[in-house]
Amino acid sequence: MKVIFHPEAREEFRDSVVYYEECVVGLGADFRREVVAVVQNVCQHPDVWPDVGGGIRRCLIPRFPYAVLYDTAPDGLFIYAVMNLHRHPDYWKHRIF
């Protein structure tokens, strides 16, 4: 399945990896691996996680206070956010088009 990140989702993912790596060496790599594993799991089972509205689904990331917000389409998976769960829950909604 093809995976497409919204540009802001890709940026927040990269920023989070950098943040965790600056906190503890190796933690950024751990975060990256967890997100990649979640995305792979979502690709295999896209309809398992709860719908948070408008067909957008949320899959929590183990070990970290983050979630991947995504939608499926015939041509692949679109990721709207790699969301820090401590942020306002609607901050990413302007990304829907």
Whether the per-residue pLDDT at 97 is higher than 80: the answer is no
The token duo for 50 is: 């709860």
In a domain, residue 33? The reply is: yes
pLDDT of residue 1: 86
d(CA 7, CA 26): 25
Q: What pLDDT is stored for residue 71 in this prediction?
A: 96
Domain count, the chain: 1
Which CATH number belongs to the domain containing residue 36 in this structure? 3.30.2310.20
41 pLDDT higher than 90: yes
- 15 belongs to a structural domain: yes
Q: Is residue 26 part of a domain?
A: yes
The values of phi and psi at residue 27, to 5°, are -70, -35
Return d(Cα 91, Cα 23) in angstroms, integer: 25
Domain-embedded: residue 96? no
State which residues form the domain around 22.
3-85
Band of pLDDT at residue 49, cut at 50, 70 and 90 = very high
Query: Does 24 fall in a domain?
Result: yes
Quick: pLDDT tens for 50-85.
Answer: 999 999 999 999 999 999 999 998 889 999 999 999
Q: Residue 68 domain-assigned?
A: yes
Q: Is residue 90 part of a domain?
A: no
End-to-end CA distance of the chain: 21
Laid out side by side, the sheet with 66-73 consists of: 3-5, 76-84, 66-73, 56-61, 51-53
Decide if 92 is inside a domain. no
